[in-house]
Amino acid sequence: MKYTLLNRTLFSIVLFSLSLIATSVQASNRYYADNTLEPTQGFAWDWSAGASYFVEDTYLVGTNAYDTDLELDLSLAVSYDRFYLDFDHNQLSGGLIIGYSIIDKYDWGLDILGTNTQAGFDEKGLGFYNSGVIAELDGIKSRRYDFGVGLRLTRRFENSQISFEYLYDVSGAHNSWVVNTFFSQILPWRNWEFRSGVGVSAYSADFTNYYFGIDQEEVAENRPFYDAHASTSLIFEFHAEYPISQDWVFLAGFLSTWFSAEIDDSPIISQGYQHKAKVGLRYVF
HSE of 61, CA atoms in CB hemisphere, 13 A:
16
- Cβ-count burial of 29 within 10 angstroms (0-12 exposed, 13-18 middle, 19+ buried)? buried
pLDDT for residue 6: 39
pTM assigned to the model: 0.84
Q: Is residue 107 helix, strand or coil?
A: coil
Whether the CB-CB separation of 64 and 58 falls below 8 Å is answered with yes
What gap in Å lies between CA 83 and CA 279, rounded to an integer? 32
What gap in Å lies between CA 109 and CA 104, rounded to an integer? 4
Total domains in the chain come to: 1
pLDDT for residue 69: 84
Beta bridge partners of 284: 48
How confident is the prediction along the chain (285 residues), in pLDDT tens digits per residue? 433 333 443 344 333 333 333 322 233 456 665 554 455 667 888 888 999 999 998 889 988 777 888 988 888 888 888 898 888 888 888 888 899 999 988 889 999 999 998 989 999 987 655 668 999 999 999 999 999 999 999 998 888 999 999 999 999 999 999 999 999 998 989 999 999 999 999 999 999 999 999 999 999 999 999 999 999 999 999 999 999 998 999 999 999 999 999 999 999 999 999 999 999 999 987
pLDDT for residue 35: 53
What residue ranges in 94-204 does DSSP mark as E strands?
96-105, 108-115, 121-122, 125-126, 148-156, 160-169, 177-189, 192-203
Q: Which domain holds residue 170?
A: 5-284
- Domain at 137, CATH number: 2.40.230
Cα Rg of the chain, angstroms: 19
Whether the CB-CB separation of 95 and 127 falls below 8 Å is answered with no
